[in-house]
Amino acid sequence: MNSSDMTRGPIMKKIILFALPIIAGNILQYLYTTVDTLVIGNYSDHTALAAVGTSSQPVEVLLCLFLGIGTGVSILMSQHIGAGDREAVRDAGRTAVSLVWMFGIPIGILGWFAAPTLLHMMNVPADVFEGALLYTRIVLAGALGNIGYNMNAGILRGVGDSRASLYFLIVSCITNVILDLVLVAGLRMGVAGVAIATSIAMYMAWFFSVFYTMKHYPEISMSVFPAGVSMKELKAVLAIGLPIGFNNSLFSFGHVALQTLINLQGSLFMAAWSVSGRVNGIANMAITGISSAATTFAGQNYGAGRIDRLREGRLIIPAANGAITLAFGLLFIAVRMPILRMFTSDPAILALSAQFVVVMLLSQWMYAVFNGISCIINGTGRVRYTTMINLLMLWAVRVPAAYLLATYVGGNAIPYSFPISFAFGMLAMIGYYRFSSSWKELMNTKETPAELQVCSA
């Protein structure tokens, strides 16, 4: 099997080489979501811009449980690769395909009927509601494609192939940009055009990912339609993935609570929040890439018994994640105004979004450290603590802080709830390294490098 072996060689070189294709893919994903915002911002009014921005939250609510299960599959795949268990790799692949269909169709149906309730819960303003409802329903009609793409990309990251997701996103990005220009700029379909373009692009990425995996990794038993379920792998996937998925669900509801607070500030504020998110997303690119590499690194070395490498990587990977993210943040703070002007010329929106960008990008490095440590811990299958801290970080810190700041300082202070929660999460993860008896026991385990059996080409 042609996979990246994380159990040997210089750690940071392996991490960076693994992360670079993911970061490149994130840039592509950023570009095509940015095209959505650019096209809507230039060919529709600010209410359409606000509709697309606020609709991401109900979509996230309905997809996040499955995405956690996809993470569980990715972690198991990396552990099976580290242990050299080809049969388990095949069984996990077949089970993953079945899970795509088990979740994809029900989520699409549920989303159609649940969307109005979710948007009402979020206090979406009347001038934005119809556009947000239309966007949410159309995008969730493409849930099967979205889930299939994310599952396959996660599987391939688990076996060590981070380049594959870049190829999938190239297909998705080209499809999305062309359809945006045709449907929105050309046919003036507005929010509906953006949503249709997004859904079709995800289906294209899914189909391409299936064919790619079948050609390059026949051992995974990839297919479009279900071909059986291994109960052993299903139980293992759910044992790891469900806590992550439920955490994602509750985390997503926290985002809804924050978006509700943002919506209460009016459509102008909503538009500024949406625009600033385009710039803030740039800083997250390195976080996602390095954190994905950290999960695969931890899973392979844990599965192979290389605790010596795990001990070393647990420190340098989160530190590098924080340093790179801070560098990106400072760079984009310096050039934020020209970027923001690409999306809007409204002085009020520009002023608000510029403020939001500075607050977020100066604090993202703490989230990068937190996420790096979380992914290393998750890669060993220890997901309970990280799940708990994720929930506390949002529900016990960020959401209450946002509401308190909005009430006693003003709506413009809402972004400061993020650095407060990032600091909490980072310190909690460092505390796990320092005080967890389970983690200390693992770090003191005698590694057995002579007994390694790692899959190779």
Residue 457 lies in a domain: no
Q: Is-contact 329 361, C-beta < 8 A?
A: yes
For the stretch 398-443, pLDDT in tens is 999 999 999 999 999 999 999 999 999 999 999 999 999 999 999 9
CA dist., res. 385 & res. 100, Å (int): 27
Looking at residue 362, its pLDDT comes to 95
If one compares 2 and 116, the residue with the highest pLDDT of the two is: 116
Instruction: Please compute the mean of the pLDDT values over residues 234-244 and round it to a whole number.
Output: 83
Is the confidence at residue 382, as pLDDT, over 70?
A: yes
Is the confidence at residue 385, as pLDDT, over 70?
A: yes
Side chain identity, residue 29: Q
Tokens 């506390």, located at residue: 392
Range(s) of the domain holding residue 72: 11-447
**187, exposed or middle or buried, with CB in 10 Å at 0-12, 13-18, 19+?**
exposed
For the stretch 128-179, pLDDT in tens is 888 889 988 998 888 898 888 888 888 888 787 878 878 888 888 888 888 9
- pTM of the prediction? 0.71
CA dist., res. 97 & res. 69, Å (int): 12
Q: Sorting pLDDT into bands at 50, 70 and 90, what band is 48? A: confident
Is the confidence at residue 318, as pLDDT, over 70?
A: yes
Looking at residue 32, its pLDDT comes to 65
| Average pLDDT value for the chain | 85
- The alpha helices in 159-266, defined as continuous H runs, are 163-180, 190-216, 231-263
Is the confidence at residue 454, as pLDDT, over 50?
A: no
For the stretch 185-234, pLDDT in tens is 788 888 888 889 888 998 998 999 999 988 888 888 788 888 788 888 88
How many independent structural domains does the chain possess? 1
Tokens 């469900």, located at residue: 242
Residue 383 lies in a domain: yes
Residue 43 lies in a domain: yes
CA dist., res. 349 & res. 346, Å (int): 5
Cα angle: 194, vertex 38, 149; to 5 degrees: 45
8-state DSSP, 181: I
CA dist., res. 322 & res. 339, Å (int): 23
**450, exposed or middle or buried, with CB in 10 Å at 0-12, 13-18, 19+?**
exposed
Instruction: Please compute the mean of the pLDDT values over residues 21-37 and round it to a whole number.
Output: 74
Residue 215 lies in a domain: yes
Looking at residue 398, its pLDDT comes to 94
If one compares 36 and 225, the residue with the highest pLDDT of the two is: 225
CA dist., res. 198 & res. 55, Å (int): 13
Closest CA to 379 of 307, 451, 287: 307
3-state secondary structure of 62: helix
CA dist., res. 140 & res. 69, Å (int): 18
Residue 250 lies in a domain: yes
Looking at residue 142, its pLDDT comes to 84
Residue 453 lies in a domain: no
For the stretch 282-316, pLDDT in tens is 767 788 889 889 988 998 899 888 999 999 999 99
Is the confidence at residue 448, as pLDDT, over 60?
A: no
Tokens at 101, concatenated: 């269909």
Q: Is-contact 63 143, C-beta < 8 A?
A: yes
- Angle, helices 126-141 vs 86-121, to 10°: value is 160
Looking at residue 435, its pLDDT comes to 94
